[in-house]
Structure formats: C-alpha cells, structure tokens
Structure 1
Amino acid sequence: EGTGSKPGVPDVPSDDSKEELSWKSSDDEEGSFDPIPRTPEDSEKESDDEEEQESRLSEETRIQEEEDAKELYRDV
C-alpha cells in the first residue's frame, strides 16, 4: 500500500506534481543560458578547434592501433 495522501491509492504523481516538475525544468533551461553572444567569427574559430581536436584524436587512435598491432605480433 502506498504512502500517498489518499489512503489505499498508490503513489502516483498528481497534476500538482507535474506542474512543479515542469516549473523546475524551466529553471534548468534558464541556468544553461549562455550570456556571451557568439559572432560568426567565434563559431568559425570553435569549428576549427573542434576539427583540430578530432584530427588529433584520430591520429592518437591510429598510433594506438599501430602499437597494439606491434604488441600482438611481438607475442607470436
């Protein structure tokens, strides 16, 4: 038996709790607001940074795969 406010009724969210959840989620959205306006130049720079990072990661992955292959063949 639930511990809800109505005897014999299982704990199920009421309409009030849905409104409260909706209210809280809108607060979360406000917290993620970025106060720094972005210019196209800024976003282009970010894009270049992301591409550079992806390139670095793929290079690191390639090197790691080569090292793993060498290790496998060394054991043979």
Structure 2
Amino acid sequence: MATAFDNISNYLSTEPTLAPSLTKSLPSTYKCSSTTCDEKSISRCTKCSEYYCYTHVYGHIHSIEHFEILK
C-alpha cells in the first residue's frame, strides 16, 4: 500500500516544474544595470526604471522599497 510520502514523491517526479527558468522568462534586454555585471536582472527600480540582479540591488541609490520583482 502506498503511503502519502510515496504519492507525493511520485507526483513530484512526474510533474514538470512550475517555476519558469529565469533565463527563459526574461528578455536579454533586462541585464543588470551595474557596469561590471552580465547577470539577468530580477528587479526593477520603480523610481528610475533601472534593472538589477540580486547581488547589486542593495547597492542602488534608491531604497529597496522602490523595487519590484520581475517574473
């Protein structure tokens, strides 16, 4: 008899992931605005519309409250 854990394991092994790949979901124009970074951005500043990756978002001049997460 299958346990609940077995049912979950079987489901997870057969279902495709629901989370989109960051590389596939963002156009190449959304590069991090930091001059030394080639990473894709994950957020956009709503004050100045600059895009930043996770590493560089905290160094931006505007407060973190002004950033939106990109999907």
Q: TM-score, normalised by structure 2?
A: 0.30
Q: Using structure 1 for the length normalisation, give the TM-score.
A: 0.29
The structure carrying a bigger helix percent of its residues is 1
Structure of greater relative contact order (alpha carbons < 8 Å, 6+ residues apart):
2
